[in-house]
Amino acid sequence: MVEVLTIRDIPAPAARSATAMKGLSALVVAGLGLAGCALSGAAQPDVSQARVTVAPGIVFALPPPAALERSVEASQLITARYRHDTFVFETRISVTPARLLVVGTDMLGRRAMTIEWTGHDLKVEAAPWVPSEMRARNVIADIMLLHWPENAVRAGLVPPGATRDDAGHRVITVDGRDIIRIDRTAGLPGTWSGRWTYRNVGWGYDLDIQSSEAPP
């Protein structure tokens, strides 16, 4: 099953290829990833808009955008694998100290979803055809788990978790279990340009993220 999601009028990741532009079904947008995917069909607890279930029994309190300690404009091409399905889609991400903005559109240029997180309020605008499986808070959470500083990620995990950052690798561990593993496979540390693999063991999905950061 293959559909396509693209974003028009923004720079695409340099590593784009024709075969990479395949697929989007249950997922519509993500960030960065994170990308942001809530791929599990299991019910999630009802938590406040600042708290996100990122794996079974694991909650992540979203830090404010300012915790990134910089501003970023980036576009990302994301390949998501869940069970026997593969989806490929693009997002545009804008971060300032005041807000994180994630935008996705479909191949016809229709806007699928706009997500804005200020650290206090989460605003979501979704097209009627966006699948109900799409959870905006998980989109934001995946982006932050990938890109936000280690101390901000560690402080947000409930139950208290630990992160291990080492030369392009990040592992998020809770109660002695590795729940998320992120590996940078290309690009320079400290930038959003490059490539990552993202494995969420709890929900059972994998992301391959190709990201291009706009010059300041």
Asked if pLDDT for residue 41 goes beyond 50, the answer is: no
Q: What are phi and psi of 99, to 5 degrees?
A: -165, 155
At 17 the pLDDT is 32
Asked if pLDDT for residue 16 goes beyond 60, the answer is: no
Q: Partners of 155 in the beta sheet? A: none
Asked if pLDDT for residue 61 goes beyond 80, the answer is: yes
Q: What three-state secondary structure class fits 137?
A: helix
115 neighbors 124 (Cβ within 8 angstroms): yes
Range of the domain at 172: 31-213
pLDDT band at 3 (very low <50, low <70, confident <90, very high): very low
Q: 21 in a domain, yes or no?
A: no
Mean pLDDT of 170-190: 90
Q: What are phi and psi of 100, to 5 degrees?
A: -110, 125
Q: Partners of 195 in the beta sheet? A: 186, 210
Asked if pLDDT for residue 152 goes beyond 90, the answer is: yes
d(CA 72, CA 8): 19
Number of domains, the chain: 1
Kindly report which listed range (20-29, 47-56, 139-148, 149-158) carries the lowest average pLDDT score. 20-29
Q: 77 in a domain, yes or no?
A: yes
Q: For 127-139, what is each residue's pLDDT tens digit?
A: 888 777 678 888 8
Sequence-ordered list of residues with C-beta below 8 angstroms from that of 33, at least 6 positions apart, any chain: 76, 78, 91, 93, 142, 143, 146, 196, 198, 207, 209, 211
Q: 4 in a domain, yes or no?
A: no
Q: How much is the pTM?
A: 0.77
Output the average pLDDT for the chain. 77
Chain-centre distance for alpha carbon 99: 16
Query: Which has the closest alpha carbon to 44: 56, 60, 26, 35?
Result: 56
d(CA 138, CA 146): 12
- The counts of H helices and E strands in the chain are 2, 15
At 111 the pLDDT is 82
Q: 93 in a domain, yes or no?
A: yes
- Tell the residue number behind the tokens 């936000």, with chain if given: 148
Looking at per-residue pLDDT, the higher value among 71 and 79 belongs to 71
pLDDT band at 106 (very low <50, low <70, confident <90, very high): low
At 209 the pLDDT is 95
pLDDT band at 73 (very low <50, low <70, confident <90, very high): very high
Q: 82 in a domain, yes or no?
A: yes
Q: 192 in a domain, yes or no?
A: yes
Chain-centre distance for alpha carbon 95: 13
pLDDT band at 48 (very low <50, low <70, confident <90, very high): low
Q: 2 in a domain, yes or no?
A: no
At 107 the pLDDT is 61
Q: 10 in a domain, yes or no?
A: no
Sequence-ordered list of residues with C-beta below 8 angstroms from that of 105, at least 6 positions apart, any chain: 5, 6, 7, 8, 111, 112
The CATH number for 109's domain is 2.50.20
At 129 the pLDDT is 80
